[in-house]
Structure 1
Amino acid sequence: MLIGEVARRSGVSARMLRHYDSLGLVRPTGRTVGGYREYSPEDIRRILHVEGLRSLGLSLSQIGRALDDSGFSPSTLVGDLIRKTEERLNRERELLERLRTVDAAEPSGWQDVLRVIELLHGLGSESAARRQQAVLAPAEDISMPAELLAEAILTESDPNVAGALRWALARAGGDGVASVASGMGSADVDVRRRATLAIAELPGGEATAVLIDALGDADATVRRNAALALGARGVTEAVPALLGTVIEGPNDVEAAELLGRLARDAKWADRIMSALVDELTEQTADSAARMRLTQALAEMPGTIALDILRQLTHDDDRAVALIASSLVERIAERPDNETADTAEKSRPLAAGPQ
């Protein structure tokens, strides 16, 4: 079979067949009277073998060894090809994500494209200072893609860089909540903690709904951060978690202040006071917790906690009694700042140390 016919049947160009011949990879076994290459069925079979190995990514020199060296083992070579292919696919995926990120920014010109690429390079730096600088650099009238910022937030371990990213996400607009809320379903607790802190800085009902769901998280830090954010928004669903934060700490002072703010609503004042008193009664063996609860009473509006604090001045726990005495004096001198809807509410300590 002449070279033109072989090319038509095999799909390999005549030029490539001549190249195979020059390399000694596939040499036709015969020649016509006129000197033209003539391929036997065995030659054509070898051409197909060459093309099959090329499809796996082997070089022509590797193919020659594979076909001619009976001692050549394919396992090492195939393993190397797998590794190189995985590396190439990873590079392609990174390129695809980079292109999608640029597209999400809706660039109006190449300067916008370059700004997003600069941000991508900065966020990929091993230097925390370089990553932070990339986030805080002048935006030049281009909003950073929320998807990119959210991805960086969920993986950033440096607190300063994370803070800069949360600030940028809050300014980015768009669907920032949806972009970062995916982290709330992660099995990695650190990812959930980062997501909670980011959502806490985003406004709107969607962010509030995500934070309310986070109150049921298995991790105490996630629950605490969600409760603090919700309390600052005036969401009363956070009251139990805020109370738990007062008892266990940290952030007990902040939690107490938020409980006091929520207690300005007459509908919640009695519930919060009752919860504080109940916990004081139950935490008989934990002096530190009772001290924090006593201090939290001082954050209640007006003088609604004054009677309870007076009882606590006679508490068996000397530290609690001293704190209560100090707070009684302070609250007694406090101007009456109760709202018209907040009446003085107090209840005796039941079965607590007196």
Structure 2
Amino acid sequence: MTNPHITESPVQHISHHDSRPSPKTESVVAALSSSNPQQRLQAALSVGTTAERSHLGALVQRCRYEPDFFVRDMLTWAITRMPAEEAVPALIVELSSDVPQAQSQALHTLSKIGDPRSWSAMSPENIGDKLIAHSDTEVARSAWRAAVALVPGDDRETLALSLVTQLGRGDMDTQKSLSRAIVSLGEDLVSVLDERLQAEEETVQTHALATRDMFTDPDAGFAHALSEAKRVVALGSEASA
């Protein structure tokens, strides 16, 4: 289905004097936990449409375990409708979760919100390096995409140097995702690949070469760049044998 666009309608501000969940909040939690994915989708849509901040916690919590892609996407949309000053801190807490899906969904949602405050948690010197090198591929890929979306201009090189440590990792889709993230930081940073081009591991060397080619010819596509890089590395190995 086509995801709804974020509207510019003002968020309704509601004061709450009782910290206990209201019956309405409890009904939202129940609807978001329905066994029927269509009902969960409709619940997330309704919560995002009303944008009542009291439901933020239920949305974030559901992101940890929601199995359906389309429902997760709707949950993300609903969270982006909430006040950023509340949504961003709640999502940053999820970055330290021991549930990988909670981390990947939080990263994805933070990138959609685009609030500059998110970078304080995402920067490599804080938790960013752990997320960029996360053992769970989906978390790592979400971290790559979120980092390049949120990084301030002055921190691009620091981020690029962190990203290149992951060259050679995973299957073609994973490598393509990383290359795109690195290239999106700007062609003035192509030199961050130099050391990896001399790596002993052929997979790292090949991936670095393919990424460099994407800097110079982004229209060629990653599959073509990787195939050409493998050929060049193989020829180099034969020559030095």
Indicate whether the TM-score tops 0.5.
yes
Does structure 1 residue 239 correspond to structure 2 residue 160? Answer: yes
1:276 aligned to 2:193? Answer: yes
Q: Does 1:226 align with 2:143?
A: yes
Query: Which structure: greater helix fraction?
Result: 2
1:214 maps onto 2:121 in alignment: no
User: How far did residue 117 of structure 1 move?
Assistant: 6.0
**Counterpart residue number, 1:166:** 76
The equivalent of 1:126 in structure 2 is 35
Question: Given the superposition, is the C-alpha separation of residues 131 and 200 from structure 1 closer, same or farther in structure 2, using an over 3 Å criterion?
Answer: same
Q: Could you tell me which of 47, 51, 73 is aligned with 1:143?
A: 51
Using the alignment, how far apart are the partners of 1:276 and 1:263 within structure 2? 13
Assess, with a 3 A threshold, how the Cα gap between structure 1 residues 316 and 166 changes in structure 2: closer, same or farther.
Answer: closer
The amino acid across from 2:45 in the alignment is L
Which of 84, 92, 97 pairs up with 1:186?
Answer: 97
Distance 1:298 1:133, change over 3 A: same
Evaluate the alpha carbon distance shift between residue 232 and residue 182 of structure 1 in structure 2; reply closer, same or farther with a 3 A threshold: closer
Structure 2 counterparts to residues 11-22 of structure 1, below 5 A: none
Cα distance change, pair 187–264 in 1 and its aligned pair in 2 (3 A): same
Identity of aligned residues (%): 15
Quote the residue 2:182 is aligned against: 259
**Alignment coverage as a number of residue pairs:** 199
Give 1:320 shift.
9.7
Aligned in 2, Cα 1:153/1:320: closer, same or farther, shift over 3 Å?
Answer: farther
Task: Determine the structure 1 residue equivalent to 2:15.
Answer: none
Larger radius of gyration between Structure 1 and Structure 2: 1
In the alignment, what sits opposite 1:299?
214
- C-alpha separation in 2, matches of 1:196 and 1:139: 19
* Alignment map for 1:1-354 (pairs within 5 Å): 97-99=20-22, 119-137=28-46, 142-145=50-53, 146-174=56-84, 175-212=86-123, 213-217=126-130, 219-220=134-135, 221=137, 222-235=139-152, 236=156, 237-249=158-170, 250-265=173-188, 269=189, 272-273=190-191, 275-284=192-201, 286=202, 288-300=203-215, 315=232, 317-318=234-235
Higher relative contact order (CA 8 A, sep 6+): 2
Distance in 1 of aligned mates of 2:97 and 2:199:
35
Q: Alpha-carbon deviation of 1:289?
A: 3.6
Unpaired segments ≥5 residues, structure 2: 1-18, 218-228
Question: Counterparts of 1:228 and 1:320 in 2: how far apart (Å)?
Answer: 33
> Aligned partners of 2:237 and 2:213: how far apart in 1?
13
**Structure 1 segments unaligned to the other structure (5+ residues):** 1-95, 103-112, 303-311, 322-351
Measured against aligned partners, the alpha-carbon deviations of 1:248-273 in whole angstroms (never above 9, x if no partner) come to 144322332332332334xxx3xx42
The Cα shift of 1:301 comes to 5.0
Residue 317 of structure 1: how far off its partner (Å) = 0.4
Residue identity matched to 2:234: D
Aligned alpha-carbon RMSD (Å) = 3.6
The residue type paired with residue 127 of structure 1 is N
Are 1:276 and 1:297, in contact at CA under 8 Å, matched by a contact in 2?
yes
| TM-score (norm: length of structure 1) | 0.47
